[in-house]
Structure formats: C-alpha cells, structure tokens
C-alpha cells in the first residue's frame, strides 16, 4: 500500500466531459500540482453520495483557497458513470475520474474485493498530493467514514 512520502504510480484514469472521453495520465494530473484526491467504493452508493462527495463539493472553494490546484474524485467505475454521478451532484469544481479496470487502485494497494456484491472496488480514502508525492493519507477503516472527509482534509492544509 502506498505510504506518505512515496510517488504515485504511473496509471491512466478516464474523464468524460462535454461529450468527450479523455484518458489522463497520473503524470499530467499530478506533476507540478497540489492535488486533493479522494476515492470512494462506488458512485451513487449511499455514503459516497450522501456524505463523501457532497463534502468536497461544499468545501471546494475553501480547499482551493489553501493552494489546492485540483480536487479529484476516483472510483472503480467507468467514465460515463462518473460523469453522470458528478452531474447529479453538481460537482463542476471537481474532476470525476473513472478507474474502470481498477489498475490505479490496485497499483496504490487500495483495492478490496467485494465478491459478488461489486467485485474489485477501492477502499475509502483521501490524499494530499504535492508534485505527484503523497503528503497526507487518510485511510478509512472498512465500513467507516471518519477521516477521509473534506473537513479533515481542509484542517490538514
């Protein structure tokens, strides 16, 4: 599992916006930037939709005022699902990225197998990344939502 002080692995994530799907490398997303990244087990799921994503939407301006260049939400879903979820939540200030094959999540060591419920999914976490290096890592205990929220990240900045 990735640790504070380590560089992010090379991977490709998908963004769907304005009718286009783009493949974005971790290099272009994180190199030379201060980024808040948070990951959720699945789009449109209860805690993710009712608490996790809305907190980052609400505090986006506050996070950016602290020098954050971008706020990225990642889930092991395809780009179409992430776009629809972002649109349904008015997440214009965030990049809603799909990790459709879970390759980024697996490379981070943040994957979990939920079996027939949903297959490989991401653990719930947040990170502060500076120039592609992890500065803060807030990993949730399975089934909890206490440390990866937007307010905790804002407090850490």
The answer to whether position 3 is within a domain reads: no
Prediction pTM value: 0.96
Residue 9 burial by CB count (10 A; 0-12/13-18/19+): exposed, middle or buried? middle
CA dihedral 78, 82, 85, 88 (to 10 degrees): -130
CATH number of the domain to which 140 belongs? 3.40.30.10
In a domain, 49, yes or no: yes
Instruction: Confirm whether 5 is domain-assigned.
Output: no
Q: State the total domains in the chain.
A: 1
73 catalytic residue (yes or no): no
48 within domain boundaries: yes
The whole-angstrom separation of Cα 30 and Cα 115 is 31
Residue 6 is assigned to a structural domain of this protein = no
C-beta of residue 130 within 8 angstroms of C-beta of residue 8: no
The answer to whether residue 7 sits within a structural domain is no
Residue 1 within any structural domain of the chain: no
The verdict on residue 4 lying in a domain is: no
The confidence score (pLDDT) of residue 102 equals: 96
Catalytic residue among 8, 13, 39, 48: 48
Give every residue of the chain whose pLDDT is below 70, as ranges: none
Could you tell me the two tokens for 66?
């602290």
Domain that holds residue 107: 12-18+26-156
């Amino acid at each position: 599992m990735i640790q504070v002080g380590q560089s992010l692995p090379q991977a490709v994530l998908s963004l769907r916006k304005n009718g286009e799907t783009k493949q974005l490398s971790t290099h272009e997303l994180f190199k030379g930037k201060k980024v808040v990244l948070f990951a959720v087990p699945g789009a449109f799921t209860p805690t993710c939709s009712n608490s996790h994503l809305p907190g980052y939407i609400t505090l986006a301006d506050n996070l950016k005022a602290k020098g954050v260049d971008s706020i990225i939400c990642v889930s092991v879903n395809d780009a179409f699902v992430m776009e629809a979820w972002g649109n349904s939540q008015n997440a214009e200030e965030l990049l809603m990225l799909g990790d459709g094959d879970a390759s980024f999540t697996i490379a981070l060591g943040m994957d979990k197998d939920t079996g027939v419920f949903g297959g490989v999914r991401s653990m719930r976490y947040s990170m502060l990344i500076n120039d592609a290096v992890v500065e803060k890592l807030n990993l949730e205990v399975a089934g909890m939502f206490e440390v990866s929220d937007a307010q905790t990240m804002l407090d850490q900045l």
